[in-house]
Chains A and B, each alone.
Chain A
Amino acid sequence: MPMNPRITFLCAVVLITANTHIDAQVLNRLKQRAAGNVENKAGQEIDKLFSGKKNQNQGTQPGGTNTNGSGGMNGGNNPSNTTGGGLISTPPDVKQNLTDAEDAYRKNSYGEARYSVQQAMLGVELEIGNKILSSLPETISGLPKDATRDQVASSGFGWAGLIIKREYEKNNKQLTLNVANNSAWMAGVNAYLASGAYTQQTGGQQNWKQIKVKGYRSVIEYNESSGYKLSVPLGQSSLVMLEGINFASEQEMMTAANAVDFDGIKKMLGEQ
């Protein structure tokens, strides 16, 4: 069935806003989109609107008292948070949510059923994510993992899919490994790789090129301020992205990449 024009327009609005011009920046945009760039931009606009009012509120109150000090009206006596138990991190009970979904469906409460199925999906995706994390190496290129920064995120929808993140770091050298699965943005990545463009140079400096890592067609890019980025599409709907900061050379980055078991990750994600 051809895509509805309205849906096409909506997708085009998002993609155009995300600047899908085929260059190395699209890979950065993928990450930014997952983090909700539109919401960040909305926040910036709100700040602009209220910055004028903020400036007006600063300054001296009648009577000559400066209100910008720590005891003043703008510094305020609002407490800062120093305690709290955080949030409960137990993943959703998949089996219970499936039971709840069935019960709601029988009662024709489809909205409730959908919520329960989404919770079940969240639980399953979190398990997949944790399984992948535990399969990753403890160290890569002499960099130990920082387990405190391990992340698994799932939307429960399937559209943004599953995102897994691990960092390896020592001194000022860092490798970040991101795995994105079942994301709606995969179509953009594969189109980018299928575009036929091989490389891009600006002022004689090569910015990105296609490369193979462990037999997988990939794209590597380099930026003076952000270092190396290697994007490895796996199967139909998964992407592994490695970001290397303060790696001495492309070869060093590729050596680190070769420590990753892409076949294993692909299998755990159910890709062919």
Chain B
Amino acid sequence: MKLKLILILLPLSIGASAQEFDKNLATARSSYSAGNLENARFALEQMLRDLDIAIGKEILKLLPAKAGALSAMEKEDNVTGSGGSMGTGLYVQRHYGALPKRASIEIINNSPLINTLQAFLTMPMIGGMMRDENQKLVKIQGYKSQLNKTFDAETNKTDYELMIPINNTLVTVRMDDANEGEITAFANSIPLQKIAQIAQ
């Protein structure tokens, strides 16, 4: 019954997104033709938001269903499209597993914040983050990435974070209580090139 409800509602939600895009497109066209430039710009911002959401949903479809033994928590999937305002671009997040051991994938796309991050990642001396034993550069599917390790002396557990900048997209993979092999295996299961192409 639940599956039937999802199957009925899913095309409705996709249809609703398309309707929003069409509505905003019509507003942009009519406002621009009428010389109402500010209204046209607002409608274009909404269109960018609609497109960010659509791209985010396509990206979610590509993400792996599992992170090692951890299953995806699809109910917690998060897609946010800012339409360009406030500088956050597109944001996609998926969690895996439950406490105390969780993993996550975060994808930021089309955000000016990435330029700053790439400066930090490619030139760590700018951020004052000189390389230490808790940080190293690795290659994931050919992409240079920064691997960060955090050790908690109280719990005796090590958490990992992997940041992979690809053009105008930043993919961040996190895993609690893991080792380097686990997180790199998880990152290698993500179709990075396809995600970068969709988001381009």
- Report A's interface with B, CB cutoff 8 A: 1, 4, 6-7, 10-11, 13-14, 17, 36, 38-39, 41-42, 45, 94-95, 98, 101-102, 105, 108, 110-111, 113-114, 117-118, 120-121, 124-125, 127-128, 131, 155, 157-160, 182, 184, 187, 268-270
A124→B91 contact, CB < 8 A: no
B40→A124 contact, CB < 8 A: yes
Q: Is B64 positioned at the interface, with any CB of A under 8 Å from its CB? A: no
Q: Is B186 positioned at the interface, with any CB of A under 8 Å from its CB? A: no
Q: With A117-B44, A268-B38 in contact, do A95 and B113 touch (Cβ < 8 Å)?
A: no
- Among the listed A38, A111, A187, which residue makes an inter-chain contact with B200, where contact means beta carbons less than 8 Å apart? A111
Q: How many A-B residue pairs have CB under 8 A?
A: 132
Which residue on A lies nearest to B172, using beta carbons?
A: A6
CB distance from A223 to the nearest CB of B (A): 27
A94–B21 CA distance with the chains assembled, in angstroms: 17
A120–B43 CA distance with the chains assembled, in angstroms: 11
Q: With A42-B123, A121-B41, A159-B87 in contact, do A14 and B48 touch (Cβ < 8 Å)?
A: no
Chain B residues with CB below 8 A from A94, complex form: 32, 40
Give the contact stretch, choosing among B2-10, B50-58, B139-147, B148-156.
B50-58
Chain B residues with CB below 8 A from A155, complex form: 112
A118→B48 contact, CB < 8 A: yes
Which 9 pairs between the two chains have the least Cβ-Cβ distance?
A270-B38, A158-B84, A159-B87, A184-B87, A157-B84, A114-B51, A121-B44, A110-B55, A110-B54
- Report B's interface with A, CB cutoff 8 A: 18, 21, 25, 28-29, 32, 37-42, 44-45, 47-48, 51-52, 54-55, 58, 78, 80, 83-89, 91, 93, 106, 108, 110-113, 115-117, 119-120, 123, 125-127, 172, 197-200
Which residue on B lies nearest to A14, using beta carbons?
A: B116
Q: List 18 A-B contacts (CB under 8 A).
A: A1-B80, A4-B78, A7-B91, A10-B108, A38-B115, A98-B29, A101-B47, A105-B51, A113-B51, A114-B51, A114-B52, A117-B51, A120-B28, A155-B112, A158-B84, A160-B87, A184-B87, A187-B86
Known: A94-B32, A121-B84. 8 other contacts (CB 8 A): A10-B113, A13-B116, A98-B29, A102-B25, A108-B58, A117-B47, A128-B41, A158-B84
Which residue on B lies nearest to A36, using beta carbons?
A: B115
A182→B85 contact, CB < 8 A: yes
B45→A110 contact, CB < 8 A: no
A103–B83 CA distance with the chains assembled, in angstroms: 19
Which residue on B lies nearest to A129, using beta carbons?
A: B37
Question: Chain B at the A interface: mostly helix, strand, loop or mixed?
Answer: helix
A14–B86 CA distance with the chains assembled, in angstroms: 13
CB distance from A23 to the nearest CB of B (A): 22
Which residue on B lies nearest to A160, using beta carbons?
A: B112
Chain A residues with CB below 8 A from B120, complex form: 13
Chain B residues with CB below 8 A from A118, complex form: 48, 84
A159–B114 CA distance with the chains assembled, in angstroms: 13
CB distance from A142 to the nearest CB of B (A): 32
A17–B117 CA distance with the chains assembled, in angstroms: 12
Q: With A111-B198, A124-B32 in contact, do A269 and B38 touch (Cβ < 8 Å)?
A: yes
